[in-house]
Structure 1
Amino acid sequence: MSLENTIIGRTGEVGTMIDGLDSARSTARRMDRRMTSTGSDDGSLLRPVAASTGRGPVLVRGDQAVYAARRLGELLYGRPPGVTGHQWSSAGREGFDHVVCAASTGRPLFAVEVGPPVPPGSAAQRAERMKDAVCAAVGLAVLRIASPTLRAADHGRRIVEYVIDARAYADAVRPDPGHTEPNDVTPVAFRDIVGRLPDGRSGHVNDLGALARAAAVEAYVSRRLVDPIVRGLHVRWADGPAEGWSWVEVRPGRCLVERVRVWEHRISCGVDPGRLAEDLAAVAVGERLRGLDGGEPELVAREQLDGDIRRLGARRDEMRNGFGFDHLCVD
């Protein structure tokens, strides 16, 4: 073979290789476009939830159906535009404890998580942030509740019922824009409705912590507590969640303390999220009061709790509505 033919032959091979690489890149781009979803016909990227065998709704309330344990990837048509493949592969496997959908169409309205706080800097926190990024990209509303004690299996359904009812009530009493009258009476907030409690007393019927407060009174009567009152506070961080604390004095100078954080991502839960967090902290206190007979619970010294409250109050500039519990800091 001549030198000229050899050069031409090699040039042809290189040209063939370049054509092959261009073809591969084009194929990859087409595959990437197919993997990046354009959503449904109406432009939504949210996929309706179907009641598959053995996975029907755990609750139907009004025009909303609640499904348990769904992965984020099951709720979307595919990877949203603007989300990287790494974000999608990680976030798509993450799940929600409950997903609330329109009963007629199955379209997701919001998702709920209940569980322990994720440690800062952990792999769980990184996965949570990726999931948040994907949810933000598709507009999926998420209510996240972080508690060392509350769990979705035991408390999730009641919380979801409460939020559905609170949101429905808020929608029903919200005045029409431009149709307010000077003498219109401000409707009672959902949390402030008074009625008959399960024990026959009159009180706030939409206080999630009502049963825990009643249990504390019973424990006090049976001399298992030194104080029958479940106390609490709540704040809303300007750039973060609402936070609620609740505590009861079990032994002289020793308290059982619970803290809960509530994040509202693109959703209003129908009640003040700070009060919801405080009520959920009371629920957690009630959960732990059940174990008093089984052994001494982990308690916090009253002096330490007082110091924690003062330090919390000192951060009032970081809070959305300031700190309204200075009376708890008085010696």
Structure 2
Amino acid sequence: MTSIGSDDRGWLRAVSAEGGHDTLLSRAGQRVHPNRRLSDLVQGRPPGVTGSQWSSASRASFDFVVCSAETGRAIVAVEIGPVASAGSAEKRVERLKDAVSEAVGLPVLRIGSATLRAAEHGRRLVEYVIDARAYAAGGAGVAASGDEPEPVGFRDILGRLPDGRTGAVNDLGALTRAAAVDAYVAGRVADPIVRGLHVRWADGPAQGWSWVHVRPDACLVERVSVTEHRFSCGVDPARLAEDLATVAVGDRLRQNAVADLVPRAELTAQIVALSRRHDELVGGFAFDHLCAD
């Protein structure tokens, strides 16, 4: 597949808030539009993309497009849903969209999850990313120097949680942790603690795992990937992936959708296998304590 890797955003079309282009929300000088085709964003077939590629890719859509309220130009296109399997038609369309996006410098954020969906989770996720980026742009995410205290990242801001405790107010998994306690009190899970891990592949996406012991020997497990193309979420994508996996666990707990459990021994074996690939991970593997769980 041909891609020129250009940063020439002159190919990007301004997305109007009129003419049927509904605005899902406006926030921090940005507008969010749902369900936009690539042809809504790109002005014709860009150089380096074949006619066949453009014909297929232009009809494909993104779940959300975040645009500048001032210029209408896309800041990032967002996808949320199942990871396309290798060799599938969905994977082919994904590659075509990536080729066109690369050619015109369109940033893309892709959330891969078997449980999370744009309709149910997209608005909160997009709001979160907009707020995290605004926080980082304000200087809070800049590393400290000298004797200055280490700045607090967006994910780690402390405040009052809905249950009255003090905790990380921007932890997307906070409601899941409360739901796990409720499920434990009701006798629906064997342990109220939500566990997890996160990694970032050197040549691939960030990935987060989250699980809860429904039975002593079986776990409800969710995995989420976060892929940033020419884009930064404003928070560590690996931690975001784990938080989103925790959100998915919470959804299944609240719906009592606790089928397809993973044997505890099998989950531990998968964690051990992951730890052995530490050389392929950015920053290595920091969860060896889970290998003997």
Fold agreement, TM-score > 0.5: yes
Q: Could you tell me how far apart the structure 2 residues matched to 1:176 and 1:252 are?
A: 43
| Corresponding residue number in structure 1 for 2:219 | 255
Is the CA contact (8 Å cut-off) linking 2:41 and 2:74 kept in structure 1?
yes
1:98-247 equivalences in 2 (<5 Å): 98-173=64-139, 182-247=146-211
Deviation at 1:182, TM superposition (A): 2.7
| Corresponding residue number in structure 1 for 2:263 | 301
1:249 alignment partner, SS class:
strand
2:40 alignment partner, SS class:
helix
1:44 alignment partner, SS class:
helix
2:134 alignment partner, SS class:
helix
Counterpart check, 1:84 vs 2:41 = no
CA shift in 2, pair 1:209/1:139, >3 Å: same
Deviation at 1:253, TM superposition (A): 0.9
Deviations 1:58-112 (A, max 9, x none): 1000200100000011101111111111111111111111100011221111111
Is the CA contact (8 Å cut-off) linking 2:220 and 2:258 kept in structure 1?
no
User: What is the percent sequence identity of the aligned residues?
Assistant: 64
Deviation at 1:322, TM superposition (A): 0.5
Is the CA contact (8 Å cut-off) linking 1:190 and 1:206 kept in structure 2?
yes
Code of the residue aligned with 1:311 in structure 2: it is: A
Is the CA contact (8 Å cut-off) linking 2:63 and 2:118 kept in structure 1?
yes
Is the CA contact (8 Å cut-off) linking 1:90 and 1:130 kept in structure 2?
yes
Deviation at 1:243, TM superposition (A): 0.4
Code of the residue aligned with 1:328 in structure 2: it is: L
Q: Could you tell me how far apart the structure 1 residues matched to 2:209 and 2:104 are?
A: 33
Code of the residue aligned with 1:144 in structure 2: it is: R
Is the CA contact (8 Å cut-off) linking 2:194 and 2:210 kept in structure 1?
yes
Deviations 1:118-172 (A, max 9, x none): 1111111111111101101100001000000000000000000000000010111
Deviations 1:170-208 (A, max 9, x none): 11125889xx76333221011111110111111110000
Q: Could you tell me how far apart the structure 2 residues matched to 1:181 and 1:297 are?
A: 50
Q: Could you tell me how far apart the structure 2 residues matched to 1:55 and 1:215 are?
A: 37
CA shift in 2, pair 1:174/1:221, >3 Å: closer
**Is the deviation greater in 53-62 or in 213-222?**
53-62
| Corresponding residue number in structure 2 for 1:11 | none
Code of the residue aligned with 2:291 in structure 1: it is: C
Is the CA contact (8 Å cut-off) linking 1:229 and 1:248 kept in structure 2?
yes
Is the CA contact (8 Å cut-off) linking 1:291 and 1:297 kept in structure 2?
no
Q: Could you tell me how far apart the structure 2 residues matched to 1:175 and 1:223 are?
A: 42
CA shift in 2, pair 1:175/1:278, >3 Å: closer
Q: Could you tell me how far apart the structure 2 residues matched to 1:143 and 1:182 are?
A: 34
Counterpart check, 1:59 vs 2:25 = yes
Answer 1 or 2: which has greater helix percent: 1
Structure with the larger RCO, 1 or 2 (CA within 8 Å, 6+ apart): 2
Is the CA contact (8 Å cut-off) linking 1:169 and 1:190 kept in structure 2?
yes
CA shift in 2, pair 1:235/1:250, >3 Å: same
Deviations 1:26-63 (A, max 9, x none): xxxxxxxxxxxxxxxx9711001012344321100020
* Runs of 4+, deviation exceeding 4 Å: 174-177
Is the CA contact (8 Å cut-off) linking 2:12 and 2:41 kept in structure 1?
yes
Is the CA contact (8 Å cut-off) linking 2:278 and 2:285 kept in structure 1?
yes
| Corresponding residue number in structure 2 for 1:310 | 272
Code of the residue aligned with 2:267 in structure 1: it is: L
Is the CA contact (8 Å cut-off) linking 2:135 and 2:154 kept in structure 1?
yes
Q: Could you tell me how far apart the structure 2 residues matched to 1:223 and 1:247 are?
A: 17
Q: Could you tell me how far apart the structure 2 residues matched to 1:205 and 1:156 are?
A: 19
Q: Could you tell me how far apart the structure 2 residues matched to 1:188 and 1:296 are?
A: 36
2:285 alignment partner, SS class:
coil
Q: Give the unaligned 5+ runs of structure 2.
A: 1-7
| TM-score between the two structures when normalised by the length of structure 2 | 0.94
| TM-score between the two structures when normalised by the length of structure 1 | 0.83
2:14 alignment partner, SS class:
coil
Deviation at 1:252, TM superposition (A): 1.9
1:98 alignment partner, SS class:
strand
Counterpart check, 1:327 vs 2:289 = yes
